[in-house]
Structure 1
Amino acid sequence: MAQHNETGKKGEIAAQEMLLKKGYRIRHTNWIVGKLELDIVAEKDNTLVIVEVKTRDRLDYGNPWDAVSNAKIRKIVDATDHYIRIFDLNMEVRFDVVSVTKQGENYIPEHIEDAFYPPIW
């Protein structure tokens, strides 16, 4: 596995562990529909929480959450729409980001709730 893929996978695991400790129930990880993917689909307090995970081992190019572009947000919202329809859900939806930085051998997650709102096209 390429180093950046391994870093990303370990970051996702750190994000999942943190969410579980905070009382979230993880419904799916790396959920794919067509060419779209949701990193983590979780649930807490009757709210569907869509979590985008960004991991960096260096901050030379900015913080991990800076990589959540408007184009990425549109893809996440589109995938979420598919998810809600496929599973016939009727609940509030929130979009979070978990920004993970590698410090030595440790992966440190930072949870940003309500990181973005769905854009209006």
Structure 2
Amino acid sequence: MATNQELGARGEELAVRHLEDIGLEVIERNWRHRSGELDIIARDGDTVVFVEVKTRSGIGYGTPAEAVTYTKQTRIRGLALRWLSLQQGPWVQIRFDVIAIVVGRHDDPVITHVRSAF
């Protein structure tokens, strides 16, 4: 059985692959600030996309997307503003996506990408 860190790392790898497969450019991963971390920052045309990745081995405690609570959304918004303040790019739009991944024991992972999740 994978540890939570291993499961999270696998989920982020799957999320990056998914984003690249649909044409987004990943520009940063695991950006850290004293108040938290942004999992993935990507570019979708002239839109910067902040992606929260949640991975679970099952749904016994709820779906991965349900773990992105209002409190977590607020923290992610604040981190995104901090990241943007440090950039030179003229971003036209920003978007917050959630990628929820369920990794079963024997099945292929189920990836749900919620665009503009919050």
TM score, norm. by length of structure 1: 0.90
Structure 1 runs not aligned, ≥5 long: 117-121
Q: Which residue of 1 aligns with 2:39?
A: 39
Q: Which residue of 1 aligns with 2:6?
A: 6
Counterpart amino acid of residue 64 in structure 2 = P
Q: Which residue of 1 aligns with 2:109?
A: 107
Counterpart amino acid of residue 9 in structure 2 = K
Structure 2 runs not aligned, ≥5 long: none
1:23-62 to 2 correspondence within 5 Å?
Answer: 23-62=23-62
**d(CA) in 1 for partners of 2:30, 2:82:** 14
1:58-69 to 2 correspondence within 5 Å?
Answer: 58-69=58-69
TM score, norm. by length of structure 2: 0.92
Query: 2:26, 2:41 within 8 Å by CA — same for their partners in 1?
Result: yes
Cα displacement (A) at 1:36: 1.6
**d(CA) in 1 for partners of 2:18, 2:104:** 16
Cα displacement (A) at 1:34: 1.4
What SS does the corresponding residue of 2:109 show, helix, strand or coil?
Answer: strand
Q: Which residue of 2 aligns with 1:119?
A: none
Query: 1:11, 1:109 within 8 Å by CA — same for their partners in 2?
Result: no
| Amino-acid identity (%) | 32
**d(CA) in 2 for partners of 1:7, 1:32:** 19
